[in-house]
Amino acid sequence: MTKDFATLKPNEVVQLAIAVEEANARRFETFAGIVESYDPIVSRIFRELAEEERTHRELLERKYEEKFGQLTSDVEESEVKEVIEAVDMAHAEHFVFDDMTPLDALRVALNAEKAAHQFYSQVAATTSEPDWRQVYDELSTFEADHIRVLEERIKNLARAQRL
Amino acid sequence: MATNRVMDITALPAEKEALKAPWRIDLFAALPWLKRLVRLRSFQFLAILPNLLLFYLFILAGLFGSPIGNRNIIIVFVWILWWFVLIAALVPFGSRVWCTMCPLPFFGDWVQRRALIKVRTGKTVGLRNQFFGLNKRWPKRLSNIWLQNFGFLFLATFSTLLVTRPIVSVVVLGGLIVLATVLALVYRLRAFCNYVCPISGFLSLFSMAATIELRSKDKDVCLKCRSKACTTGSEQGWACPWYVYMGKLDRNNYCGLCFECVKSCPNDNISLFLRPFCSDTRIKSYDESWKAFIMLVLAMAYSVTLLGPWGMLKDWANISEVGNWTGFLIYAGVTWFVALVGFPLLYAGSIWLGRKLSRTDAVTIKDLFIRYSYTLVPLGLLAWIAFSVPLVMVNGSYIVTVISDPLGWGWNLFGTAEWPWKPFYPEYTTPIQIVLLLIGLYYALKRGYEIALTLYHDERRAARSLIPTGALVVAVTLAFLRLYVG
């Protein structure tokens, strides 16, 4: 039985955010494995992104402990109806056509971060509880930072490819 | 949810209608026995086995049976019965279900998996199954269907040899099975099926029109999936041999309906859906567009040479019996030129004109060229069916005789060897062909307009942009009708 995101308490929301970062790290590792023998550069980018997701998870864990105390993992991504942040391939036939580029890999991550940012912003805007809004706003800002970093990487990579 | 098309809230009413997710019926929910059947580990083996045995019989018949085509089972069953069933029933109603039971990659799969039924877990190039062989990456430059395009065109050019000389069919079909096995030893997964098999190429294109699809039930479940076991494999199922990712699958082209993903999905999120005809409308690249050109031109070339009134053209194409090499080279050269250059140029002209008529540069020539080539998919498929109808209605009685005498050795196993040659209801052939072509034309124009709406977001511009391509499609249909009706 899946829960509505709206029914989660603030500490559960952060627990969920932590679980999401770990899940994405694993997805990136799966993609890295698949493309390893196709394009080592894309594979390396996916592994770097997996590492970044784990760094995000650690940051969130520290925030959680500052705010709520000892971390428990009571909420998993699969227990919640909504999709908060899930990295995914752009299309189903990347491996058929061998057309995944380093830029595609970064865009995969960017799209997921944008979805998460939008999600947290929306729930922050609709909640009436100040404490909860603060948690959502912090998560939204957290994702906005990741978006900035990824956009910078994409810009640099695109520029390097043009040269 | 079985489509990834996104509804644009600013869309016009007609566009909204065009973008609206069409109906789907979950066949696994409606027919639970079907799901149980395809989930059997032995399912694909059991589906292939009868065809493998038949294939073996055909090869023996081709090698040792009568050299006369219509007295040998390899010719009658493969090029009359199988072809008709494939193009008129399996493709339009079963998508790539032929690939489920195709014997060609059987030995390749066997050497890669070293198993006929069970699954091996392990690690191979990012996958979670153990595969044997070199597992090399297929060359990136060949990761498309150009080889299949040229392969089919080549085989089609020599089709009179193929459909009249049993030994030629043995060489071609036997060669394909050897090639599939060798490629499986060197390259990972189904490189042969994805990039080389000439039959797979047109199945890929025409499966877009099919009334069934294998898809994920809920895309969000796939989004949240961590293992992506449909692509990478699991203890329950092999990694997708076609290397597609079910979470984003939105067209049939490269799904060979092996149903491994139904077994490997940890979320029980894959199902078979019934859907409207011609639901997948996104052609993605030039190689796929050219496949549509080639198939349409070949349907026309066959109709001209086999059903048309021009005896000289028939003789030119019939190199196996007439032996006029000069005539054959003219026929082959013209066919290749029209399929690869002439018709594409004509089509490109219609695209250029359509873009002018739309009075906007909002859509690129490339996008229009690729996307509008879909109009040739329903028309091409129905033209092939229309062409194949008289073949089976005229030559169908050979099927009855050859069952009793498969090698042409004078046997009479079931008492039907002396069945007289008699066309089946020849008076209905032309009306059936007319109806088929008009269905093809209807879907070509209807889906063409829907594609135009998604590109232009403006009904008038969309309609104007489609006028020249629509006129071309109508002209081609009239040409077919002229040939069939006389």
Instruction: Determine the distance in angstroms separating the CA of B220 from the nearest CA of chain A, rounded to an integer.
Output: 7
**Closest Cβ opposite residue A37 in set B137, B254, B284:** B137
- Which one-letter DSSP state was computed for residue A4? P
**C-beta atoms of B248 and A95 within 8 A:** no
pLDDT digits (tens, 9 = 90+) for B186-218: 999 999 999 999 999 999 999 999 999 999 999
Contact state of B223 with A37 under an 8 Å Cβ cutoff? no
Question: What is the SS3 string spanning chain B?
Answer: CCCCCCCCCCCCHHHHHHHCCCCCEEHHHHCHHHHHHHHCCCHHHHHHHHHHHHHHHHHHHHHHCCCCHHHCHHHHHHHHHHHHHHHHHHHHHHCCHHHHHCCCCHHHHHHHHCCCCCCCEEEECCEEECCCCCCECCCHHHCCCHHHHHHHHHHHHCHHHHHHCHHHHHHHHHHHHHHHHHHHHHECCCHHHHHHCHHHHHHHHHHHHCCEEEEECCHHHHHHCCCCHHHHCCCCCCCCCCCCCHHHCCCCCCCCCCCHHHHHCCCCCEEEEECCCCCCCCCCCHHHHHHHHHHHHHHHHHHHHHHCCCHHHHHHHCCCCCCCHHHHHHHHHHHHHHHHHHHHHHHHHHHHHHHHHHCCCCCCHHHHHHHHHHHHHHHHHHHHHHHHHHHHHHHHHHHHHHHHCCCCCCCCCCCCCCCCCCCCCHHHHHHHHHHHHHHHHHHHHHHHHHHHHHHHCCHHHHHHHHHHHHHHHHHHHHHHHHHHHC
What is the average pLDDT across B220-243? 94
User: What percentage of residues in chain B have a pLDDT greater than 70?
Assistant: 96
| Chain A residue nearest residue B142, CA to CA | A97
Question: What pLDDT score was predicted for residue B43?
Answer: 98
Question: Min CA distance, A65 vs chain B (Å)?
Answer: 26
Judge whether residue B324 has pLDDT over 90.
Answer: no
- Asked if A86 has any chain B CB less than 8 Å from its own CB, the reply is yes
Each residue of B274-318: pLDDT tens digit?
A: 999 999 999 999 999 999 999 999 999 999 998 888 888 888 988
Which chain B residues are closer than 8 Å to A31 by Cβ?
228
> Could you tell me if A94 lies within 8 Å of chain B, comparing CB atoms?
yes
Give me the pLDDT at residue B448, please: 98
Which has the minimum average pLDDT: A134-148, B287-301, B324-338? A134-148
**pLDDT reported for residue B19:** 59
Which long-range CB contacts under 8 A does B419-427 form with residues at least 24 apart? B421/B397, B422/B397, B423/B393, B423/B394, B423/B396, B423/B397, B424/B392, B424/B393, B424/B394, B424/B396, B424/B397, B425/B393, B426/B390, B426/B393, B426/B394
Render pLDDT for A109-140 as a digit per residue (tens, 0 to 9): 899 889 889 988 988 887 777 877 888 888 89
Query: pLDDT tens digit string along B157-183?
Result: 999 889 899 999 999 999 999 999 999
Do B140 and A98 count as a contact with CB atoms less than 8 A apart?
yes
What mean pLDDT is reported for chain B?
A: 93
State how beta strands B127-129 and B121-124 pair. antiparallel
Q: Tokens 């009855």 label which residue?
A: B400
Closest chain B residue to A34, measured at CA:
B126
- The answer, for B96 touching chain A at a CB cutoff of 8 Å, is no
Residue A56: the pLDDT is 87
Question: B28: pLDDT confidence band, cut at 50, 70 and 90?
Answer: very high
- Whether chain A has a CB inside 8 Å of the CB on B125: the answer is yes
Q: How far is CA B165 from the centre of its chain?
A: 24
Contacts of B220 in chain A (CB under 8 A): 83
Q: Do B228 and A37 touch (CB under 8 A)?
A: no
Can you give the pTM of this predicted structure? 0.92
A77 in contact with chain B, both atoms CB, cutoff 8 A: yes
Those residues with Cβ within 8 angstroms of residue B356's Cβ, 6 or more apart along the chain or in another chain: none
> Strands of B212-216's sheet, edge to edge?
B25-26, B270-274, B212-216
d(CA B169, CA B461): 50
Give which of A77, A147, A97, A4 is closest to B222, Cα–Cα.
Answer: A77
Q: Which of A28, A44, A91 best tests the B interface by mutation, with the highest count of B CBs <10 A?
A: A91
Q: Is the pLDDT of residue B14 over 60?
A: no
Q: Is some CB atom of chain A closer than 8 A to the CB atom of B131? A: no
pLDDT for B398: 94
Chain centroid to CA A97: how far? 26
Tell me if A88 and B222 make a contact (CB, 8 A cut-off): yes
Q: Does B127 touch chain A (CB under 8 A)?
A: yes
Q: Would you call B247 and A92 a contact, using CB atoms and an 8 Å cutoff?
A: yes
Give this complex's ipTM: 0.86
Least confident of B26-35, B84-93, B416-425: B416-425
Which chain B residue is nearest to residue A35, measuring alpha carbons?
B126
Q: What chain B residue is nearest to A25 in terms of C-alpha separation?
A: B226
Token pair for residue B53? Answer: 């045995």
pLDDT at A144 over 60: yes
pLDDT of B2 reads 35
Query: In B, which residues are within 8 Å of A83 by CB distance?
Result: 220, 223-224
Is A76 in CB contact (< 8 Å) with chain B?
no
Selected for mutation to probe chain A from B137, B138, B197, B228 (highest A CB count within 10 Å) is: B228
